[in-house]
Chains A and B, each alone.
Chain A
Amino acid sequence: MTQLLPPNIGADALDDPFWDGCRRHQFLLHVCGVCQRAYWPSSTCIDHGWANMSWQPSSGRGVIHTYTVFHHSYLPWTADKVPYIIAVVKLEEGPFFHSDILECAIEDIAVDMPVEVVYLDAEEGWVIPHFRPTRPS
């Protein structure tokens, strides 16, 4: 089943490299070449500006920093989803990333839980990164 997309998602010249990375199952972050600080989405380094920013592969892993559980659907694409978890993942490289948490029971979600990216196909050729509890490798 392909995921429905909200109407405000579309081609964006500044973030397109990230979405192209998702199509290759690569989780890219926008990294400053001077200080190596990682950002997401496209950003300008607060210390070194735009000139040295480039998209670089990352681990696709992080921990749950905080979360909420939606008990009602307010959007067409969540109608079959409730209850569902929305978490802020703190990526290993530093940035925060909002995601739903797949393959995780509501009662199991917890701050500090390790999570990893998983890619799902969506409408119109989009590939969307989601997170799930880290599996033993």
Chain B
Amino acid sequence: MATGFSIAGLGVTRQGRNLQVPARQLRREALELALDDAGLVRKDIDGYIGTSSEMFEDVRHLGLSPGFIWSMNAGGATATWSVLNAIGAIRNGQADIVACVYGATPSSKNAPLANGRKGGYGAFGYGYPMMYGMVGAAAAHALHARRHMYRYGTTTEHLGAVAVQQRAYAALRPGTLGYGQPITMEDHHASPMIVDPFRRLDCCRDTDGGVVLLVTSDERAADLQSKSVSVLGIGTGDNLRNWWTGEVYDLHDDIAPAKALAFGQAGISVEDVDVACLYDPFTISPIMQLEAYGFCGPGEGGPFIAAGETSIDGKIPTNTGGGQLSGYYATGFTAMVEGLLQMRGEGGATQVPDAEVALVSGHGGNAGVQNTWSHATLLLGADR
């Protein structure tokens, strides 16, 4: 089983710190790469799903003439939401080829805050908790990490194991922040504490870059020149459900219903996944998601990663491009791109041999007192 839809075009620009180019230029470059990948032209794009408030300007700038222009605003869940909405539009006859467009320059903005410090990742409002100095995604995720440490005995060494493993992948992946720069556990422990228990190397960094996905039906994809990748299943969840039950800090995401939906559509189980591409703004995130998906038991995520089970030879190679922590931060598109590369057999030195199923997760759109995020699960299948 599968959804009947594919990602038949992929465009990824350079991704890096402070590229000093307008975001819409990155979107245009990514679009052109995706069109070249699929062998399509601008007029073939009849649906546009963006992630930016600049998108109306974009579409003129990009030279497109789609039948609809939508914006998705679910932070790191947006990549999968975009694909989900593209599928809905195509299924309903509104479009044949939908472009899902990301391009942002958060590491170039870096505008000073009122106190003269540089703003950056996560420097956005948190409602009432901000009165007390609660600000930033790192602190919000630190609340999950501390809870996990309390419940299961997860340690800073476990967090460090995530950072070291993902950097080992990035060190082998050209174009990532960590390329050629492996780190050790000592490096992790020596990096400064930011928001306890997160040290600097437990946190990802903003980067600039663009990504475009072209979504179409399997039938149309079969006629295109690109290595198309099947969308096997999609599921969504929102941690607000777990806010009501008091479990919001015990659960990184509302993964259970999303997992059931996505794997149900795909007709497969977790054992069938060959590579995991998990949303990883902070080191606690892969730990809690591996548990929630069932790659290991509750509370076992830290020891599982420390034992090497997420390495290329482990039970579930995870974030094989370095993830957001050591690769680049294209919000939810980092994990999506890695899933697509692995399914296309384009993972280079960290390609998982014969990988046929990739799990992609997304997570984003924080909010105030409830500290909750949207979640998205997406399963990709290699067309071989």
Which chain A residues have a beta carbon within 8 Å of chain B's beta carbons?
3, 5-6, 8-9, 40-41, 46, 65-79, 81, 84, 86, 88, 90, 94, 96-100, 111, 128, 130
Contact = CB atoms under 8 A, between A and B. Distances in A.
B354 interface: no
Contacts of B139: 68, 70, 86
Contacts of B113: 74-76
Contact of A111 (B133, B146, B243): B146
Contact of A68 (B130, B150, B195, B370): B195
Given A41-B128, A96-B243, 6 more contacts: A3-B131, A65-B249, A68-B196, A74-B123, A96-B248, A111-B147
Nearest to B193: A71
Contacts of B115: 73, 75-76, 79
Interface in B107-143: 113-115, 117, 123, 125, 127-136, 139, 142-143
21 contacts: A3-B131, A6-B130, A6-B131, A41-B128, A41-B369, A66-B143, A68-B196, A68-B197, A69-B196, A70-B195, A71-B196, A74-B123, A74-B136, A75-B130, A76-B115, A86-B129, A88-B249, A96-B246, A97-B369, A99-B132, A111-B150
Contacts of A8: 125, 127, 130
Contacts of A3: 131
Nearest to A79: B115
B192 interface: yes
Contacts of B248: 96
A9 B128 contact: yes
B132 A100 contact: yes
A123 to B, nearest CB: 11
B201 to A, nearest CB: 14
A5 B131 CA distance: 6
Contacts of B371: 88
B246 A88 contact: no
